[in-house]
Amino acid sequence: MLCIGVNIKDQTLSVNDSVNGVRIKSYLVSTSKYGVGQEMGSYKTPIGKHYIRAKIGDGAPSNAVFVSRRRTGEIFNSDLREQFPQRDWILTRIMWLSGCELGVNRLGQVDTMRRFIYIHGAPDDVEMGIPGSIGCIRMRNVDLVELFDLVDVGTSVNIDNGEG
């Protein structure tokens, strides 16, 4: 069985074999430009134990645009970016996270799922390895497709600030 680890400090996402702890893959990501935090409306990346609640977009083309977890029929390009300069681009696939720790990242004002925290694709020119999102974990589209095909709904995701 596989598990995912996200290291905020290093801006990496690793796929590990949960039985023997061997790292299978590692990717650069981009987490929140506002840092880590659990609170609703904070736009921060939540830490702690999570799992993939839903996988959305199987078979969608690279750069397919999603709004409210639904494909818009658009394919991201520079003209679309100019038309909607304020949009937070969610592209290609979505893995919707749910927290596992009551009062930390589950229920109430700290609920990861109700905050709509995803692992998702981003425009190809978005730099990875540095914080830049508004809470989600952004990935390169090619990496996201690979990850999406590797893991299942229910896969554990541990988001760690990397400080300890």
Residues 50-81 have pLDDT tens digits of 999 999 999 999 999 999 999 999 999 999 99
Mean pLDDT of the chain: 96
**Of all residues in the chain, what percent carry a pLDDT higher than 90?**
95
pLDDT of res. 97: 98
Kindly state the average pLDDT of the residues 29-36: 98
Kindly state the average pLDDT of the residues 87-101: 97
pLDDT of res. 162: 81
Tokens of 47: 């830490």
CA distance 2 to 151: 7
pLDDT of res. 54: 98
User: Per-residue pLDDT for 31 more than 70?
Assistant: yes
CA distance 163 to 140: 25
What is the dihedral sign for C-alpha 116, 48, 131, 12? Answer: negative
Cβ(154)–Cβ(46) below 8 Å: no
pLDDT of res. 134: 97
- CA-based R_g, the chain, Å: 15
pLDDT of res. 164: 62
Q: Please state the pTM of the whole predicted model.
A: 0.96
CA distance 21 to 15: 9
pLDDT of res. 23: 95
Cβ(148)–Cβ(95) below 8 Å: yes
Cβ(11)–Cβ(127) below 8 Å: no
CA distance 10 to 26: 11
Kindly state the average pLDDT of the residues 124-132: 97
Tokens of 77: 């390009």
